[in-house]
Amino acid sequence: MAQGHGPLYGLQTPTLAKGGVDLNVAGMSLGTETETSYMLRYLFSYGITEDLQINLTTPTMIERLGDAPRTRGNSNMTANGDIEASLWYRFFSNAFGVGKRFESTAIVGVSAPTDDVRGQANVGNSLHAAISTGYASRTWYGWIGGGYQYYFEKRGEQLGDLPYASAVVGYRPNIFMGDYPKPDWRIFIESLAEFPGNNKFNGQLDLSDLRSTKVLVGPSFLGLYGAWGISFGVMFPVVQDLTLWAVKERYRLAINLSYWL
């Protein structure tokens, strides 16, 4: 029953079955050298067809960062206080064996902020687009993808854009190959590379046209039991080549509870 499941942070390809409904509640935390944020997120997904899925996600901010890094957070939920609607289209799928397939999915989304200022700049609405491709079987999984988020200007100020890429490898041990009601677990190693641009003030870059570079790596786990799913994981930075005044991260942590109707 658990259609559309995948990794926690990286871009993925699975979409819901036609008429499928997925409800998610996630707890997310991001720690920098000076601050820690805490947020709850709610995600509603609906399968229009087996290859076309619509999503809506909203936040409850518990503790905001005064100087928030620009990041997506994970594959279908933003890490900052944005309300976002998105459309996933699986435009290619080739099932060449029992439980084996190659597939590709495109994502487009729009978001509106719940805060007025982020990273010392006015924050406006944004557009997001991404594409991912990969392989899924009953034992092994692998996805690579990339995306781009663009923020519109607001009162003469504009958040820098966010190009990013992700790569994920997953494994399902043989012990979890049994049928329901046996539990079903997968482990993923996820990596995320981000290249945020600088903010603009009155059309001018605040520092230079140089970009920061962040690369984060970490494990995540996905457990399925009937119509329920739980995933949790953590990422740590392994590369932080930052422009002046950019904030260094210490970790990203998330736990997500899913129910498939």
- pLDDT tens for 3-45 read 557 899 999 999 999 999 999 999 999 999 989 999 999 999 9
Residue 169 has pLDDT above 70, yes or no: yes
Distance CA(257)–CA(261), nearest Å, equals 13
Model-wide pTM > 0.75: yes
Q: Judge contact between 141 and 170, C-beta under 8 A.
A: yes
Q: Are 143 and 166 in contact (CB under 8 A)?
A: yes
Closest CA to 97 of 52, 143, 136: 136
Q: What count of other Cβ atoms lies within 10 Å of the Cβ of residue 198?
A: 24
Across the range 116-131, mean pLDDT stands at 90
What percent of the chain clears pLDDT 90, i.e. is strictly above it? 67
20-260: CATH class: mainly beta
Give me 151's structure tokens: 């923020």
**What residue ranges do the domains of the chain occupy?**
20-260
For the chain, the farthest-separated pair of C-alpha atoms sits apart, in whole angstroms, at: 60
What pLDDT band is residue 2 in, cutting at 50, 70 and 90?
very low
Structural tokens at position 119: 């990273």
What tens digit of pLDDT does each residue of 192-207 get? 999 998 888 876 665 5
* Residue 67 in this model has a pLDDT that exceeds 90: no
- The Cα 148–Cα 8 span in angstroms is 18
The pLDDT of residue 77 is above 80: no
User: What is the pLDDT, as a whole number, of residue 261?
Assistant: 85
Per-residue pLDDT averaged across 69-81, rounded? 77
The pLDDT confidence band at residue 1, using thresholds 50, 70 and 90, is: very low
- pLDDT (tens digit, 9 = 90+) per residue, 200-253? 887 666 555 678 999 999 999 999 888 899 999 999 999 999 987 788 999 999
